[in-house]
Structures are given as C-alpha cells and as structure tokens.
Amino acid sequence: MAGFAPVLATVATLAPIAGAAHTGIGIVVLGAAVSLMSARSAHARSPWRLLLVPVGAVVIATFAVLFHTAHAFGDAFFVVTVAAATAARALGPAAGRFGRALILPLIGMLIAPINPGPHPLRTLAWATLAVFVAEVYGLLRVQPAEEELPSTAAPRIHAWRAAQSALALTLAFTIGQTVFGEHWAWTVISAYTVGAAARSRGDALLKGAHRTLGALGGTAVATCLTLLIGDHRQVAVALLLAILAAAFSLRQYGYAWWAAGVTAALALLYSLLGVSGTEALPLLGTRLLAVFVGALCAILPATLLAPIRTGAVLHKRTAETLRSARDGDYALAVRQVGALREAAQPLLAIRRFRERRELAWVDALTGALPDLRALSADPADTVALGRVRTTLKAVGTDLKAAVS
C-alpha cells in the first residue's frame, strides 16, 4: 500500500482538476501511468527527477506533434528515443537513469494519448502538470526504494539490446497500425514491456508467456466486470483502483498478475469512457490478440538477433556474487543474490522438465542469505563466516569446472 499510495494521491489530485478544467480523463490516466511506472524505479525518490519534468514535456510535445502530423514521424521518434535510452546505459548509471526517465512519459502517452488539437500549448501544459504531480508524489512516498545494482554488462551488450528494442518496436508499430487500427498502442506497449527489461533470451520468452497468460486471465475477469458494472461510474473507479493496487502488490510474485490486473482495469476504464457492457467485449478480445502479437515482436529479436543466453547471465551473476562475498561486501552480495534469482527465473520455470547445474549455484547462494545478512550486520560472526566460506568454495569450484 505504501508503494501504491502515490498512484492514489495522483488520481485524487488530478481528477478534480480535470473535472473543473473539462480536460477529460486523459491527464488523470497519464499521471497514474507515470506514477505506476516510476514507483518501481530505484531512483524514484531522487529530487533530480523533477529537473527532468521540463525535458519530459519537450519529449511529450515532440512525440504528440510528430505523431499527429504523420504516424511514421511519431513512430520513428519513439523507436529512436527508446533505442538511444537503452544504449545510453553503456555510458553509466546516470545516463541509464536519464534515458529511463525520458521513456516514462512516452509510455504514458501510449496509454493516454495526448492530441495537441487547436491549442497545443494548453494541452502540453496539462500533460506536464500530470507528469509533475506524479513525480512529486513519488518523491514523497514512504516506501524506501531499493538501491540499484550497477550494470557490469559490456557496452556491446547494451548496443545489441538497443538494436533488439528498435527492431521489436518497429515490428510492433508496423503490425499494430496495420492490423489493429486505433488500438495499435496495445501491441507497442506489449513489445516494450516484454523486451525492455529482458535480461536474456529465456527471460524474454518467460515475460512474453506471463504477459499473454495474464492478459488472458484478466480478460476473463474483465468480461464479468463489464457485464456487472454497466454505467455505475463510482463503482468502476473504486474497483479500478482496487484492482491496480492488488496487481501492484502481486507483481513481485509474477508478471502475469500485473498483466491480468491491467487488463481487468482497462475494462473498467472503458466504462468510464462510455464503452460499457457488451460493447467492451470485442475490445477485450482485440487487446488479447494485440498483447500476444506485441510479445512475439519482442521475443523474435531477443531470440534471433545476437541472443543473450540465460546460462551466460547466471555465470556472470554468480561470479559477481562470489567476488563481493569474498571481498567482505556482504550487503552487496545479498542484493546480488536477489538479482541472481531474478535472472534464473526462466530456468526455474522449467526446472521440473530440465535441471541445469546453474540452479545448484542459485540454491546454494540463496541458502547462504541468512548468513550473508548476519555478516553484513556483524562481520565478526565466525559461525556465519565459516558457513559462507564453505558455500563459496563449493560454488566457486563448480563454476570453474563449468567454464573450463
């Protein structure tokens, strides 16, 4: 609830403003979308993020004007911006954070498109206000953000990931606007969410499966909701926020929960926009298909264009964890074990069908977490130190055998 509180505050602030100014629900959805995405950022509480709001406003304005001038211009701007932000991670953590901060309003624009209309400056001002409100509440949130691990990937890895994202988004824009008409954005959002954070080929496949299965489950729930809610706007708003809060909380247990929650919430958003009852059902089927196609657009480049093997990622993560623990940086080692477990999710998902030696390293280092935490609090704990050294020796020996 602490993590979701900024979203509730953003909606509560923007909703009466939108009603009084007759701007429509677009700025509320934009602010909520930016708040949801920035809440998971490790640097969401950095005051420097507010300095990026004017820069984000320029990005929003450029994308809105280009896209409503000609789709091809807006598509190209989006693809180039995302690819450049991905490649910028090779320049260091600060460049990576700057790039991600610029992408947030772009993704928000896909969820809640802003049409410049006859008064582009006025529209831009409202959109900027929505982003600013979301960022301010993000700074004030109670929940502490987890410290981000520094990237140790080679620059060429970031360059290849940028190429993969550019190809995935190009495919998503082309197929989405050709096949799904005015609902093309669902394909692009799916391609971005599946491919943007994929650590490996297996990770892309797993995220694609979770997103598709989650959208399928959310569609089933949404079908019932759209028939029951009808035109009751107050009930729709309350349920929408409750579903997003539940999805936000459950996301740590699997991305499918988040995809299901967003799909169900979207059905309620339709009722707020005047599309309710049986009118919304065809849109849910269209969204499910668009999500599946978007996931494929992200999976194909990740598996065919310079794919990064999950095993290789685990080898590197394991070596980094061993190095930190041997150097006595136990707090860093604890965070690295968490990153190792996340990277191992694709192999853990198929463990009952295929056992990999890398998973033994994950199990051993996960089992050492209590001792690593004890050592981070008291490095003189000789009992914990002895058990950790035994684990490190066993894992290190097997790691050397695996790479030799």
pLDDT in tens, 268-281: 766 665 555 445 55
77: in domain: yes
344: in domain: yes
Give the per-residue pLDDT at 369: 95
Q: Which residues form the domain of 351?
A: 310-403
Q: Measure the CA–CA gap between 353 and 307, rounded to whole angstroms.
A: 22
Residue matched to tokens 């690295």: 336
Note whether 131 and 171 are same-domain residues. no
**For 310-330, what is each residue's pLDDT tens digit?**
999 999 999 999 999 999 999
102: in domain: yes
pTM value?
A: 0.81
152: in domain: no
Q: Measure the CA–CA gap between 260 and 327, rounded to whole angstroms.
A: 43
Note whether 316 and 262 are same-domain residues. no
Evaluate whether 85 touches 100 at the Cβ level (below 8 Å): yes
The domain tally of the chain equals 3
Give me the residues of the chain with pLDDT under 70, please: 1-3, 39-52, 112-120, 141-153, 226, 230-231, 233, 267, 269-284
Q: Tell me which of 263, 290, 308 is where a domain ends.
A: 308
Evaluate whether 183 touches 324 at the Cβ level (below 8 Å): no
- Check residue 283 and give left, alpha or beta (phi > 0: left; psi -120 to 50: alpha): alpha
6: in domain: yes
Closest alpha carbon to 392 in 336, 318, 338, 340: 318
Give the per-residue pLDDT at 390: 95
Note whether 304 and 314 are same-domain residues. no
Note whether 108 and 212 are same-domain residues. no
Note whether 77 and 49 are same-domain residues. yes
Note whether 334 and 395 are same-domain residues. yes
Alpha helix stretches (DSSP H) within 114-254? 120-139, 155-179, 185-195, 201-229, 233-250
Evaluate whether 90 touches 30 at the Cβ level (below 8 Å): no
Q: Measure the CA–CA gap between 265 and 262, rounded to whole angstroms.
A: 5
Residue matched to tokens 């007759």: 22
CA distance readout (Å), 23 to 170, 256, 272? 32, 33, 14
Give the per-residue pLDDT at 42: 47
Crossing angle for the helix pair 369-377 and 330-343, to the nearest 10 degrees: 150
Q: For the chain, how many residues are written?
A: 404
